[in-house]
Amino acid sequence: MRPIYKFVSEDTGLITKTVSGFIPETVVIPLKKSSQDEIEILVKAGDKVKEGQVIAKSQDTCIHSSIPGTVVNIIHSKFADENEGYAAKIRLEGVFSFTGKKIIEKEWKSKEPSAIIFLMKEGGVLNTYSSPEPLNAQIKNLDKTKDRFLVVRLYSEDPSRITDAFVTEHYFEKIKTGAAITARAMEAKGILFAFDSNKSIPQNFADGFETETAVVSLDAKNYPNGFMHEIVSTAKKTLKNSIFKNVGNRDLFIDSVTALNVYNAVVLEKPEITAEIQVTGDCLNAGAVITVKTGTSLRQLAEQAGGFKREPGKIIINGKITGNSVSDIDIPVSKDVKSVAFIPFSQLHNQTEQNCIRCGNCLNCCPVGLSPETLYRCFKNKDHNNSELQLIEKTAVLCTECSLCNTVCPSRIPLSQTIALLKKGKINEK
């Protein structure tokens, strides 16, 4: 494995506080992807909605209006994760239920796990540690026959993104409470916090927990160092004389943003209708971490960061290494968006895909010892029997999706994206 050393965000140390975003006159709330038949849309054009009202739901989650107003229409929209689907276009009208209001904290320590899980669902809490999933569903699906740990990562896995570290610095006590609540909901044996070793650990951070806690420190400037693989490996090496030596990939991993949203949903009974988003890039007049309403467009985000000083050549969502690019500046912000980078044309490199030259760079850099080039060839070759398919998919599952293989490939082959499709069992799709 060949890691990247001293990789830091261009905004590190420059952004010291969050900025409250303007309330947009119209929001576009992503409701469901075209493939999500299980989500039921509860509103139609002309309906009046309140801030925080449930406008779509499934068995596992709820989606809320981020502003009070009138539903203009249910439209087809592109989303920040490159998918498309249905969204509610809502025009601002009326009074707010949460924004600008003093919200009294609710007592949570006497609540049963089932009650906490219910509040997580009603609050629409997504776990954004990796691919976004409803947190309550993840907890319900845990193997309860074995002791399970809660792992809380307090920094971003992508060093170009500062959102999780920023949230940790400014809302640490609320994150602690959110972690304790999550541990209660899943009846965790212990809570393991993954800190950035470049930051100081707050004194008495373990105070107030009913569950045993421990800390592992990893250098967030070195990449990869924030995925499940690295955290588990570090815990097994440094905590081998404690119960946390048994931490593994079947435990529950969350990030600081998720823990904060758990606090909001359970203690404040406030649904997930805002997002802390790092807005960055040399196209902008200023960088910032902005608290915005879900459904705010990328165009509106750019305007709130001072507007463009040059035309963007690419828009990258959720980090330059692990994120994805989008082409439409009017795409709405969803609950899983943490950062938006507007990159000028002058910083773009030739991304034309070429044939593999068998240089071996992807094999040398893979943190889990896979051969991305071989998996890519397996994906391109559709002629496999069932036993071969099972072996290929089981191998692909080991991928952490760190995207290092993409970074080092001189032929610009989309190795990481291809392996992600293999993990989803899509080898037979064209």
pLDDT, averaged per 10 consecutive residues of the chain (430 residues), comes to 52 68 96 84 98 96 98 96 94 96 94 97 97 96 87 95 94 96 96 94 82 94 92 95 93 98 98 96 91 96 92 94 92 96 87 89 91 87 69 85 90 90 65
Total count of residues recorded for the chain: 430
User: Among residues 318, 346, 374, which one ends one of the domains?
Assistant: 346
Pair 196, 258 in one domain: yes
Give the span between the Cα atoms of 338 and 221, in whole angstroms.
18
Cβ within 8 Å of residue 121, ≥6 positions away: 60, 61, 62, 134, 136
Angle, CA 335 vertex, CA 139 and CA 277 arms, to 5°: 125
> Is residue 28, in this structure, part of any structural domain at all?
yes
Pair 124, 244 in one domain: yes
Give the span between the Cα atoms of 353 and 77, in whole angstroms.
28
Give the span between the Cα atoms of 282 and 123, in whole angstroms.
36
The gap between the terminal CA atoms of the chain, to the nearest Å, is 31
Q: What is the CA radius of gyration of the chain?
A: 22
What is the structure's pLDDT at 330?
96
Range of the domain at 70: 18-93+271-346
Phi and psi at residue 179, to the nearest 5°: -65, -45
How far out from the chain centre does Cα 294 lie? Answer: 14
Amino acid at 86: Y
pLDDT digits (tens, 9 = 90+) for 38-81: 899 999 999 999 999 999 999 999 999 999 999 999 999 999 99
> Is residue 155, in this structure, part of any structural domain at all?
yes
Pair 259, 135 in one domain: yes
Pair 51, 156 in one domain: no
Give the span between the Cα atoms of 261 and 92, in whole angstroms.
24
What is the structure's pLDDT at 80?
94
CATH of the domain at 41: 3.10.20.600
The pTM is what? 0.91
User: Among residues 282, 314, 346, which one ends one of the domains?
Assistant: 346
Give the span between the Cα atoms of 427 and 430, in whole angstroms.
8
> Is residue 428, in this structure, part of any structural domain at all?
no
What is the number of other CB atoms lying within 10 angstroms of the CB of residue 368?
12
pLDDT digits (tens, 9 = 90+) for 165-215: 999 999 999 999 999 999 999 999 999 999 999 988 887 788 888 899 999
Contact 232, 245 (CB under 8 A): no
Contact 228, 400 (CB under 8 A): yes
Pair 303, 210 in one domain: no
User: Among residues 266, 299, 321, which one ends one of the domains?
Assistant: 266
Pair 250, 150 in one domain: yes
Pair 294, 307 in one domain: yes
- For the chain, the domain total comes to 3
> Is residue 4, in this structure, part of any structural domain at all?
no
